[in-house]
């Protein structure tokens, strides 16, 4: 079935930036995974059966790690994608001041809109 394609090299589409910054793309994936874990921990902050001090400490370590990793990303799009994940973590943890501060680092309008859709309380023009 695919015999007619033998010998032809697949070329990445032009403008495919994932080939330009593979280390930064991997950093975004790592931040997404850590942020998802952090959101689980943040969900446990309101559980009276959990050690609140330990859960808060774990949440803050994850948040600090994610911010440090995002700070090493130079590409605006990748940085915005990483910060989007961290903002969702902050919202889950009730840290809206940190989320608003991080929002200033997002320069890509598309990603800003995605953030406002997932966290309308951060949108200054929203009445939510």
pLDDT at 117: 94
pLDDT higher than 50, residue 45: yes
The per-residue pLDDT for range 66-82, each reduced to its tens digit, is: 999 999 999 999 999 99
Residues 6+ apart with CB under 8 A from 97: none
pLDDT at 65: 97
Is the model's pTM score more than 0.85? no
pLDDT higher than 50, residue 118: yes
Helix or strand or coil: residue 17? helix
Domain boundaries, the chain: 22-122
DSSP state of 13: P
């Amino acid at each position: 079935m695919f015999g007619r394609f033998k010998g032809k090299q697949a070329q990445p589409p032009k403008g495919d930036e994932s080939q330009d910054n593979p280390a930064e793309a991997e950093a975004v994936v790592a931040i997404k995974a850590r942020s998802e874990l952090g959101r689980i921990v943040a969900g446990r902050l309101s559980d009276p059966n959990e050690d609140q001090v330990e859960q808060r400490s774990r949440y803050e370590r994850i948040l600090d790690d994610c911010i440090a990793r995002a700070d090493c990303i130079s590409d605006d799009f990748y940085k915005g994608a990483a910060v989007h994940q961290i903002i969702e973590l902050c919202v889950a943890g009730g840290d809206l001041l940190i989320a608003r501060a991080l929002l200033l680092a997002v320069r890509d309008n598309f990603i800003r809109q995605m953030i406002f859709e997932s966290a309308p309380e951060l949108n200054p023009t929203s009445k939510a």
